[in-house]
Chains A and B, each alone.
Chain A
Amino acid sequence: MTVYNLYIFDRNGTCLHYSEWNRKKQAGISKDEEFKLMYGMLFSIRSFVSKMSPLDMKDGFLAFQTSKYKLHYYETPTGLKIVMNTDLGVPNCREILHQIYSTLFVEYVVKNPLCSMNEPIQSELFCTKLDGFIRSLPFFSARAG
């Protein structure tokens, strides 16, 4: 049971933060391309899901699952997108991603006047706290399960 990596995108598609823990296989393309690919995919899936939904939808796209990993998605009303890849044993992560936003992002990035909005996050404090938070999650184990 583990977390593989985490992306944070802003409203314009800029990747503000990326960190990985147990990722065994890389995408084979440069990091910039990977971020663009991820953002493009999220954008397309969100609009697909809302168009094709047979009922009126409140939250929209939440997660997708493959045979090896599960991708969790959370979007804030301000357009910030948090994406987390975990292994299959992990249940719904919405609360956790929301906590990452409210207790980490807002505290250490929004409230830091030296971190400008819409630019990749430079604050080491944020990275350290995020790392600590992820490692303390009940379903995180340092050895990939």
Chain B
Amino acid sequence: MADNIFFEFLHMEMVDYVYKMDVSREEHEQVKMNAISTLENMGFRVGQGLIERFTKDTPSFKDDLDVMKFLCKDFWVNVFRKQIDNLRTNHQGTYVLQDSKFSLLTQFSNRKQYLLEAPRYLAYTCGMVRGALSNLGVDSIVTAEVSLMPACKFQVVIQRS
């Protein structure tokens, strides 16, 4: 039974758990931010580990674009069983990864139902992307947005020091 179901269920529970933990303590807005950063940090650590494993045998990357292409193809395939559908960049360090059928969102709705709750389920993946990039030597900020399920966009802004 080698499909993603174990991770999907675990991820669902993880998001619920993190939210329940915080709700008992603080104000609503504050709660959302804390929960999202907790999930993002979990993803960060996982992404760091995953990228070590996936790039074990690949040669080193020429530049940032190469790194992003690797992320969109091999990394995404290994984790979500499909590639990123569209990668856009402004060549100034901002990349937008578009996934038209994000596997963690396909079961939610076809269009707009549950749109408000969708970002929670993206936080972990954002962290994972950020972690993967950081271990490749690229510092970044990753955000996600959903307008029409199950498509979603991840925006990566590379930080130059």
Contact = CB atoms under 8 A, between A and B. Distances in A.
Interface of A: 107-108, 111-114, 122-125, 128
Interface residues of B, number: 16
B8 interface: yes
Interface stretch (B60-68, B107-115, B138-146): B107-115
B113 A123 contact: yes
A64 B15 CA distance: 44
Interface centre among B8, B108, B110, B111 (most CB of A within 10 A): B108
A114 B8 contact: no
Contacts of A112: 107-108
Contacts of B113: 122-125
B146 to A, nearest CB: 13
A113 B12 CA distance: 6
A124 B110 CA distance: 8
A113 B13 CA distance: 8
A125 B109 contact: yes
Closest 3 CB pairs of A and B: A113-B12, A111-B107, A112-B107
B52 interface: no
Nearest to A128: B110
Nearest to A111: B107
Contact of B8 (A111, A123, A124, A128): A111
A108 B113 CA distance: 13
B121 interface: yes
B57 interface: no
Contact of B15 (A113, A123, A124, A128): A113
Contacts of A124: 109-111, 113
B54 to A, nearest CB: 26
A63 B117 CA distance: 41
Interface string B3-19: 00100110011011000
Given A113-B13, A123-B114, A125-B107, 7 more contacts: A111-B5, A111-B8, A112-B108, A113-B121, A123-B108, A124-B111, A125-B109
